[in-house]
Amino acid sequence: MLALIGGSGLSRLDGFDPVTQNKINTVFGETSACLSIGKFANKDIVFLPRHGNPHVVPPHKINYRANIWALKDLGVQRIIAVTAVGGITSFSSPGTIIIPHQIIDYTYGRENTFFDGTVNSLEHIDFTQPYNFDLRTRLIEAAHKEKIKIIDGGVYAATQGPRLETSAEILRLENDGADIVGMTGMPEASLAKEAGLAYAKISIVANWAAGKADSEQKITVSDINSVIQGSIAKIKKIISSYLNEENNG
């Protein structure tokens, strides 16, 4: 089964009528919200808004371990994670949809492993390629099929938040090789890998990262939300198309 983890601007999924909703308490604590199971594009999927519904859980307080653990427990094998990001490099202008291929993790103080002795003993997973190759490829193919412009590849910088970055911090991330910046990409991706789940991300560039816009205008949450709302229909189309192909294959 496929799970869709929704980020900012995607706390609800229109056109998706859940049949069951489970608020799940795991050995790692409670999930961000109910896990909703229902049909999307004629296929059973699980939907989980990572900030809760309504959107109240800040990035550093999300119980990433409970979310991934509960999804695995429910029989999920693949996760498509949708996130809003700031754009750093020139191809990452607001409104662009990017399917990143790499991650740099700048977060701290988050519970970031299943291999801490709670349930599993120590293991060091390979994380050379953080996103699942097959799932990424299929999402990119689905976007091409729907003639939706996306960027194939980009380096996602995961920052701590909940504040946005300074312009110097963004220059540092750019020097490090980052193309986009968000607050929730880690440890979600590494936990999925630890759990043996295929995980890929679709990022919507909601704003120019700090200091990257031509004007001195402040980055506001309402601007971020309105750009995301403008892209949600495309994201849903990519995912529907992916699910249709999966049905046929």
Binding residues (CB under 6 A) for ligand HPA: these are 84-86, 159, 164-165, 181-183, 206-207, 209, 224
Q: What's the min distance (Å) between Cβ of 163 and ligand HPA?
A: 9
Residue placing its CB nearer to ligand HPA in the complex, 39 or 60: 60
Residue placing its CB nearer to ligand HPA in the complex, 32 or 36: 32
3-state secondary structure the chain: CEEEEECCCCCCCCCCEEEEEEEEEECCEEEEEEEEEEEECCEEEEEEECCCCCCCCCHHHCCHHHHHHHHHHCCCCEEEEEEEEEECCCCCCCCCEEECCEEEECCCCCCCCCCCCCCCCCCCCCCCCCCCHHHHHHHHHHHHHCCCCCEECCEEEECCCCCCCCHHHHHHHHHHCCCEEECCCCCHHHHHHHCCCEEEEEEEEEEECCCCCCCCCCCCHHHHHHHHHHHHHHHHHHHHHHHHHHHHC
Q: What's the min distance (Å) between Cβ of 86 and ligand HPA?
A: 2
Instruction: Please say whether the beta carbons of 64 and 169 come within 8 A.
Output: no
Place of tokens 């999927």: 45
Q: 129 phi and psi, to 5 degrees?
A: -110, 100
Q: What's the min distance (Å) between Cβ of 189 and ligand HPA?
A: 15
Residue placing its CB nearer to ligand HPA in the complex, 26 or 159: 159
Q: What's the min distance (Å) between Cβ of 208 and ligand HPA?
A: 8
Residue with nearest beta carbon to ligand HPA? 86
Give the Cα separation of 38 and 60 in Å (integer): 29
Q: What's the min distance (Å) between Cβ of 117 and ligand HPA?
A: 32
Q: What's the min distance (Å) between Cβ of 121 and ligand HPA?
A: 34
Residue placing its CB nearer to ligand HPA in the complex, 199 or 208: 208
Residue placing its CB nearer to ligand HPA in the complex, 106 or 115: 106
Residue placing its CB nearer to ligand HPA in the complex, 58 or 75: 58
Residue placing its CB nearer to ligand HPA in the complex, 1 or 221: 221
Contacts of 34 (CB under 8 A, 6+ apart): 21, 22, 23, 24, 53
Q: What's the min distance (Å) between Cβ of 210 and ligand HPA?
A: 6
